[in-house]
Amino acid sequence: MPGRIKCLIWIVAVVGMMFLGLFDPGSAPVLAQQPTGSIATVTGTPEGPVVTVDQSIPVIRVFAGPSSFDYPPIGVLLGNESAPAIGRARDREDWIQIRYPGVPGSIGWVWGLYVSLSPGALLPLVDIPPTPTPFATPTINPTLEAAFIGQQTPTRLPTFTPPPPLDLPSFTDAPGASATAIPTGLLILSLGLFGFLGAVISYLRGR
């Protein structure tokens, strides 16, 4: 019996502690209140004059200065994208200076023919920035170049030596030749005639 009473007391104590932990009268439930007013939203529309890329152009380059030859490209703007306009380049008013975050000074330049300025905007003239220092041009060591590129030895052109004059042989009559010699043609004709007569005689004998 004493063991059962102790076990019952422990069970009642554990249940009581669990009940007190779940239903603590000192802590009141917190109810979240839903806001009833409108919350202000932040839009990305820049204030002041802006430039907008022509929507027919997929992408344009942003340069570090008002020239595509003297300044390097520093970024791009996509078609129909806008950027705050700051001013126009002095003596190069077709170039517009814009606010372009992410680069040194957050300044970039775009060509005015690729963008449209907000209506009624008047931009001040801005001095042209100095051109960047060009990178050092690598030079080739002349000794190293000579080791890989053979030096051509100048050769003299061959001189033209005219050939000796051509000696043409001249034919002369043999000395002592008789003027009454039988012509060769007559001799051949006579032999042909004798041959023909011999053939006729042989034919007649055969008959």
Q: Is 54 inside a domain boundary? A: yes
**CA quadruple 75, 79, 81, 85: dihedral, nearest 10:** 70
The CA distance from 98 to 117, in Å, is 11
Q: Is 41 inside a domain boundary? A: no
pLDDT at 42: 41
Q: Is 77 inside a domain boundary? A: yes
Q: Is 70 inside a domain boundary? A: yes
Q: What domain range includes position 92?
A: 50-117
pLDDT at 41: 41
pLDDT at 82: 94
Q: Is 173 inside a domain boundary? A: no
Per-residue pLDDT of the chain (207 residues; tens, 9 = 90+): 566 676 667 776 666 666 655 544 454 554 545 545 444 444 445 568 999 999 999 999 999 999 999 999 999 999 999 999 999 999 999 999 999 999 989 999 999 999 999 988 899 999 999 988 765 566 767 676 666 666 666 677 777 788 888 777 776 766 655 555 677 878 888 888 888 888 888 888 776
Surface-to-core class of residue 53, CB atoms within 10 Å of its CB (0-12 exposed, 13-18 middle, 19+ buried): buried
Predicted TM-score (pTM) of the model is: 0.45
Tokens for 84, please give them. Answer: 């705050």
> Cβ contacts of residue 57 below 8 Å, gap of 6+?
79, 114
Contact 113, 88 (CB under 8 A): no
Q: Is 155 inside a domain boundary? A: no
Domains held by the chain: number: 1
Q: What is the CATH number of the domain that holds 104?
A: 2.30.30.40
pLDDT at 15: 66
Q: Is 189 inside a domain boundary? A: no
pLDDT at 101: 93
Q: Is 56 inside a domain boundary? A: yes
